[in-house]
Amino acid sequence: MASQQYCLRWNDFQTNMVSSFKHLRTEKNFLDVTIACEGQTCKAHKMVLSACSPFFKNLLEENPSKHPIIILKDVPFGHLQAILEFMYAGEVNVGQDQLPALLSTADKLKVKGLIDVNKK
């Protein structure tokens, strides 16, 4: 006779995960990748980049390293910062005049939620 199964559910799971991701980025805990563009750098988490972008996922899988450095050509540093904010928080504020260029950068980096990653 099979034992009865119980579903344990964390009611605030999504809210907690978003809060935890923001906290990890703010507190700079467990950062394991550096991204460089326009002579400036940002640190991030491979797991977050991989979850949010097939571009980063493939790049990190093909080039395993404990702490890789990714150099992005033709990506404005402000766009990188906005895209990382989007990846960690699920939202970002962008001026209307910057939106087309940011979406173009998001398309290059295949950022889920900002582009249709299945179209190509």
Higher pLDDT: 25 or 114? It is 114
CA distance 90 to 21: 10
SS3 assignment, position 93: coil
Q: Which two tokens stand for residue 30?
A: 């467990």
Q: How is the chain split into domains, by residue range?
A: 13-108
- How would DSSP label each residue in 74-117? T--HHHHHHHHHHHHHS-----TTTHHHHHHHHHHTT-BTTB-T
Q: What is the dihedral of CA 23, 49, 73, 118, to 10 degrees?
A: -130
What digits encode the pLDDT tens for the residues 16-46?
988 888 888 888 889 999 999 999 999 999 9
What digits encode the pLDDT tens for the residues 74-102?
999 999 999 999 999 889 999 999 999 99
**CATH label, 13-108, candidates 3.30.710.10, 3.30.70.1380, 3.90.120.10, 3.20.20.70:** 3.30.710.10
CA distance 86 to 114: 9
pTM: 0.85
